[in-house]
Chains A and B, each alone.
Chain A
């Protein structure tokens, strides 16, 4: 064995020994502490290590900042796109939920009302362009059997009546239109009056020609009387608001807040005909 070979062998042995020793002291459940562990050196080094770790973390952050910012920007863009797409999905789902609720309410109402009336559903497709009148166009016409003066309802209450019909759609005069008049009565007191529209945009109506001696209170319910109009009897119209004397002094009038949200109508019913035994005459007199 040459001198060089012996030296290399010695180095190898030292290396293996050091490695074995290192293995020994790094065994997790070693019972004895190493000289370095037991000394106070570790406590002394700790703040320095902490500082170095902080420094290297900062350095890493500074060096990788452009890259991470670039990645963050990319990620941000992707997330923004995802959020936008999820938002639109959510809006669509909300729309479905709301439509579902509306249709469920319509269906329930239709099932109840079918004992009295033959109903046809329709959707609102356009409204009056101005702010004075209140008319809506709905997607049913003479082809579907719609005729003039048919009553139009929503599950909440009376909406109006059909005033003109074309083959595929028709125009409905809402009860808030100043041209509209509905023979009505106050449900509790049976006081008669006429509900006429005030203004298209306001969505409000008022009950006029109420006998002066009748006692009325805010919140009382107004229903159709079935007299002097084309509307069947007993359809809820709205609730009474403030009551005041008419200028003539013979009658009083009251504001009426319609049950149906006339500004936001989407689906409505048309009463095609009133079934016998419904408790009112078909055309209401």
Chain B
């Protein structure tokens, strides 16, 4: 049941991502809400859950966007896994730590995306990729962490209690 709720949350995030978030873009860059949910979930629940939800959310996004199926799935899976690893080693209840983890995981996830783009033959100049997308998205998404972290933290705690 909670996983279903999480999926619904992701579907909502994708709809927001395709509509409302265009109006809050900064220099053409919008935050990656789906990445944020995936990373925080991984950070709080561990590598397996992080990677699994990352993959599920990525596939959902790929299917929704209708581009290359798997690009988002693999990059978000990597980000979720990385966040899970960070969660095992770091203090999980601190918003600042979570913000740092979101920054690094989003950076890593988008870097994986960039590598995959190159593999499917889409050449984006590295300067554009890093300074126009990867770093700005990581910064913007991590800045949103304080808004969501406590809620997701409480949600995960409630879920543990249910189990």
Chain A: minimal CB distance from B89 (Å): 29
A129:B29 contact, CB within 8 angstroms: no
> A201 to B25, Cβ gap below 8 A?
yes
**Is A202 a contact partner of B132 (Cβ separation < 8 A)?**
yes
Closest A residue by C-beta to B14: A129
A130-B61, A164-B66 known; A201 vs B117 contact (CB < 8 Å): no
Stretch of A60-68, A107-115, A131-139, A230-238 on the interface side: A131-139
Given A131-B137, A171-B66, A199-B124, A263 and B28 contact (CB-CB distance below 8 Å): yes
B124: A residues at CB distance < 8 A = 132, 178, 198-199
The answer to whether A131 and B29 touch across the interface, beta carbons within 8 angstroms, is yes
CB contact list, A126-159 vs B, under 8 A: 126-133, 135, 137
Return chain B residues, CB-CB under 8 Å to A131.
Answer: 28-30, 32, 133, 137
Complex Cα distance, B30 from A133, in Å, reads 12
The residue in chain A whose Cβ has the minimal distance to the Cβ of B23 is A264
Q: Which of A135, A137, A178, A203 contacts B123 (CB 8 A)?
A: A178
How distant is the Cα of A278 from the Cα of B123 in the complex, in angstroms?
35
User: Is A178 in contact with B30, judged by CB distance below 8 angstroms?
Assistant: no
**Chain B residues with Cβ under 8 A from A133's Cβ?**
65, 67
Question: Does residue B64 face the partner (Cβ distance < 8 Å to A)?
Answer: yes
Kindly state the separation between the CA atoms of A203 and B29 in the bound complex, as whole angstroms: 10
Q: Given A128-B65, A131-B133, A132-B133 in contact, is the A178-B122 Cβ separation under 8 Å? A: yes
Q: Please, how many angstroms separate the alpha-carbon atoms of A263 and B28 in the complex?
A: 7
Q: For residue A163, which residue of chain B has the nearest CB?
A: B66
* B125 close to A198 (CB less than 8 A): yes
Minimum CB–CB distance for B119 against chain A, Å = 14
Name the distance in Å between B65's Cβ and chain A's nearest Cβ: 6
Within the complex, what minimum Cβ distance (angstroms) separates B137 from chain A? Answer: 5
Interface string of A200-241 (1 = CB under 8 A from B): 011100000000000000000000000000000000000000
Given known A-B contacts A126-B19, A129-B14, A130-B72, A198 and B65 have beta carbons under 8 A apart: no
Q: Which residue of B lies closest to A263 (CB)?
A: B28
- In contact, A130 and B22 (Cβ under 8 angstroms): no
| Interface size in chain B (residues, C-beta < 8 A) | 29
Q: Judging by beta carbons under 8 Å apart, are A127 and B22 in contact?
A: yes
Is A24 in the interface zone, CB < 8 Å from B?
Answer: no
Within 8 A of A (CB), among B117-138: 117, 122-125, 128-129, 132-133, 137
A178 and B117 alpha carbons, distance in the complex (Å): 10
- B123 close to A130 (CB less than 8 A): no
Q: How far is the CA of A137 from the CA of B66 in the complex (A)?
A: 11
Residues of B93-128 at the interface with A, using a CB-CB cut-off of 8 Å, are 113, 117, 122-125, 128
Q: Is B86 at the interface (CB under 8 A from chain A)?
A: no
Residues of A within 8 A of B67 (CB): 128, 133, 135
How far apart are the CA atoms of A104 and B128 in the complex, in Å?
37
Beta-carbon contact of A201 and B133 below 8 Å: yes
Residue of B nearest to A262 (CB): B28
User: Is B65's CB under 8 angstroms from A179's CB?
Assistant: no
The answer, among B25, B32, B65, B72, for a CB contact under 8 Å with A135, is B65
Q: How far is the CA of A132 from the CA of B122 in the complex (A)?
A: 11
What CA separation (Å) do A105 and B13 show in the bound complex?
34
Within the complex, what minimum Cβ distance (angstroms) separates B67 from chain A? 6
| Residue interface mask B11-32, A partner, CB < 8 A = 1 | 0001001110010010111101
Q: Does B34 contact A (CB under 8 A)?
A: yes
- Residues of chain A touching chain B, judged by Cβ–Cβ distance below 8 Å, are 126-133, 135, 137, 164, 171, 178-179, 198-199, 201-203, 263
